Structure 1
Amino acid sequence: MAEVKLKDCYSARELIDYLSPLDRERWPRGHYVFRGQPCASYGLAPAAYRTNSFFTPNNMLGRLGKVQAQGQVFFEVQVLISFLEACDGSGIQVAGDSTELRQLLEQPDRYYIRPSEWPPKTVLPVLATAQHHGAPTCLLDWTRRSFVAAYFAASGALRSTQQQSHLAVWALNIHNHMAWENISLVKMPGGTSANLAAQAGVFTVSSIKATRGEHFESTALEYQEDVYRHQSEEQPGLIKMTLPVSEAGELLRLCSDLGVKGSVLFPGYEGAAREVNDYAYANLPNPFKNESFSGAK
């Protein structure tokens, strides 16, 4: 299998210059989407497929043994049901919600029997909203804007309570996504979520490659053949750019200079507060790395 193209950057300015959308030779318009991660060692696996987080299928169902394919579907259905019930309690309308969707989630037996058919297109708008507000789903976030990915890598690295040496920005070539076999590119209308629109967000989703009764173990996107099938030397399928975490503050400041900041990416009070906290993490000495500027948890 082909490998990820690696680009190690040593300064925030070097990474910003490398990511510049004005470089059409490196980044042909519409050919790549981007993802920022606070730790370069993290793989490209959606939250619902991870095993090292708190809210996972293993923690929820592991007492029953290894999680099987239908158990993975059960976990993801329960997350969506819980998310919609919480939105009901808050009086929040969710894009894509409907009576038909509620009935599907109440009676999902078809997908327990044929896990590879999950998730159906009907649930994608709700999945997208849940994903953009922190619920674990089978979607993996990407953005069409390279500097947005840089912002999330820098902000995440500064906020992280874990020790890491490098952050990462990934670039995925989607030019031939219609030929992918096991991965789908999901584009949702901007009205699905204000955050989605502001962040120019898109998603990838991988099929559950297991049948009912089989143990399900996800394959991170960087190990999937679809990603590399139509790449060329000039247009790699997947690029991983790294930067020392010590440069995260400067990267965040450069993103802000370019108009990519919390108040823009998270419209509303949440974004305004996030921008204040970003300023603190990027500019102030902070011996309590796990505390926000406001002291809130």
Structure 2
Amino acid sequence: MTEPFCFNYASELFEKLTSRGGTGEAVYRGHGDSMYQLVPSFQREGYVNKFLSLDDASVLTASSSPFRAFYQTANQMGLSLPSVSNEKHQNYTSESPIDALMDVRDEFDGEYDADDLEIMAFAQHYGIPTPLLDWSRSPLVAMYFAASGALDAFTGKAREYLSIDQVLDDQVPDSVRQKLSQYGEKKYLSVWQANSFGLNELSRKRLLFETDIDDKYSVCFFTPKNQGNQNIIAQQGLFSIHRPIKMTGEFRYGETPAKSLSEVLDEHLKWLDAREGQSQFLRESQQCGMLNEFKLPVSQAVELLNLLGSCGIHAASVYPGHQGCAKRVRERADISLIDRLFNPQASEQD
């Protein structure tokens, strides 16, 4: 993977990503913090452990599979769920420990079928940890998620130092304003761009030529059926899954290392480079940019949100419904807070 592309101003990032053209293969993902790696929530120890209720909380077993439990609960409450085969429905709703254990075996072996992927994609939009990563076909949507996440963190940091009365009365100490300014310049948001076809093809080639697959990762991008999920439609969403092709024994968080998508890509490219007769594909992969990261100081998050808003991209557009409207109101309040901190005269004129 190449070094990140770093920008100083929101307009530069906006122009770069909106002028890239595209062949339909480019997909995007936004992070409010550039330190965040491309690791699915199912493989993040701190995120998953809150779902575990075991004597040994580092071992995930059948009874604690989060998206299986989500499916069971939603079904019991009569809520809508993705349309899957009767066999899969019975497997997910079964109370039989044998069925459940077979389900988890498939999860850890990476043996997912189309129904599993549909259920995971649905559950992920409600905060359930899965082996999936969300992506969008729109760079505008990805930039929104990056800027929104950065704004949340930035205003959270501001509220650690200040009371609302200090901000409203313009009584912010210069030392605090300086600390926040430094935070905004040193922390970065990031937008990732991936070549979905290239990554799928690279993974397929490795599986085709390599017989020893223990501890090797596969990568797959897929688009779920919308099935009334307005978030996926509005966000032009799709998902990637990168999992060990085969895992033996118990999966222990903290002991079993989780690889980021960028690490998996680097491994695949090294393998490809070592094979004769594959150099043409490798050169084409490197030229088209299989995986790129674009970084921007979080101090530019408000300006990026303003640019996106002028294109009709905001919380209410990417989260259709009342939730998105409420989030947009909160974001406007956060933007006003930042404006008062760093541009009080302009804020008073507004």
Q: Which moved more, 1:155-164 or 1:39-48?
A: 155-164
Q: How does 1:39-54 map to 2 (within 5 A)?
A: 39-53=33-47
Task: Indicate the structure with greater helix content.
Answer: 2
Residue equivalent to 2:221: 185
In the other structure, the counterpart of 1:294 is: none
2:240 paired residue number: 204
Flag the 1:125–1:87 CA change in 2: closer, same or farther, 3 A.
same
Say which of 284, 293, 317 aligns to 1:264. 317
- Any conservation in 2 of the 1:252–1:282 contact (CA below 8 Å)? no
Aligned to 1:32: 26
Larger radius of gyration: 2
Output the CA distance in 2 between the equivalents of 1:217 and 1:78: 19
* Alpha-carbon distance between aligned partners in 1 of 2:190 and 2:72, rounded to the nearest angstrom: 35
How does the TM-score come out when normalised to structure 1?
0.81
Q: Which residue of 1 is the match for residue 210 of structure 2?
A: none
1:100 aligns with 2:102: no
Query: Once the 2 structures are TM-superposed, how far is the Cα of residue 135 of structure 1 from its aligned partner?
Result: 1.4
Match of residue 236 from structure 1: 289
Q: Distance in 2 between matches of 1:221 and 1:16?
A: 24
1:18 paired residue number: 16
Mean CA deviation greater in 140-149 or 91-100: 91-100
SS of the aligned residue for 1:92 comes to: coil
Indicate the RMSD between aligned Cα atoms, in angstroms.
Answer: 2.8
Distance 2:37 2:228 in 1: 27
Describe the shift of the 1:100–1:232 C-alpha distance in structure 2 as closer, same or farther (beyond 3 A).
closer
What one-letter code is carried by the residue in structure 1 that aligns with 2:116?
V
Residues 151 and 239 of structure 1: is their aligned pair in 2 closer, same or farther, counting only changes over 3 Å? same
User: Judging changes above 3 Å, is the alpha-carbon distance between structure 1 residues 94 and 113 closer, same or farther for their aligned structure 2 residues?
Assistant: closer
Match of 2:144 among 148, 151, 157: 151
User: What secondary structure, in the 3-state scheme, does the structure 2 residue paired with 1:206 have?
Assistant: strand
1:74 maps to which of 62, 65, 71? 62
> What is the distance in 2 between the residues matched to 1:249 and 1:165?
14
What secondary structure does 1:43 align onto?
A: coil
Report the Cα distance in structure 1 between the residues aligned to 2:151 and 2:238, rounded to whole angstroms: 24
Structure 1 stretches of 4+ with a deviation exceeding 6 A read none
Q: Name the structure 2 match of 1:277.
A: 330
- The reply to whether residue 60 of structure 1 matches residue 83 of structure 2 is no
How big is each residue's C-alpha offset from its partner over 1:18-58, in whole Å with a ceiling of 9 and x where there is no partner?
111x432xxx22121000001001100111111233x338x
Q: Return the alpha-carbon distance in structure 2 between the equivalents of residues 185 and 112 of structure 1.
A: 22
Closer/same/farther in 2, CA of residues 31 and 60 from structure 1, 3 Å limit:
same
1:97 Cα deviation (Å)? 4.9
Q: Tell me: CA distance 1:202–1:35, structure 2 relative to 1, closer, same or farther (3 Å).
A: same
Preserved CA contact (<8 Å) 1:129 1:192: no
Aligned to 1:45, the other structure's residue is in SS state coil
Could you list the per-position Cα deviations for residues 113-142 of structure 1 after superposition, in whole angstroms to 9, with x for gaps in the alignment?
Answer: 453243332222121111122211111000
Residues 37-84 of structure 1: per-residue CA shift (max 9 Å, x gap)? 01001100111111233x338x727853754xxx3x737x73123322
Alignment of 1:93-132 (within 5 A): 93-97=80-84, 99-105=86-92, 106=94, 107-113=99-105, 115-132=108-125
SS in 1 for 2:45: coil
Q: Number of matched residues? A: 274
| 208, 219, 239: which one aligns with 2:259 | 219
Q: How far 1:197 moved relative to its partner?
A: 0.7
Comparing 92-101 with 268-277, greater Cα deviation is found at 92-101
1:167 aligns with 2:215: no
TM normalised by structure 2 equals: 0.70
Aligned residue number for residue 9 of structure 1: 7
Alpha-carbon distance between aligned partners in 1 of 2:75 and 2:58, rounded to the nearest angstrom: 33
Q: CA deviation at 1:179?
A: 4.1
Distance in 1 of aligned mates of 2:68 and 2:109: 20
Q: Displacement, 1:267? A: 1.1
| Aligned residue identity for 1:64 | D
**Contact 1:227/1:238, CA 8 A, preserved across alignment:** no
Structure 1: 5+ residue stretches without partners? 288-297
Choose which of 45, 67, 83 in structure 1 pairs with 2:70. 83
Conserved 8 A contact 2:110-2:246: no
Deviation, 1:214, is 5.0
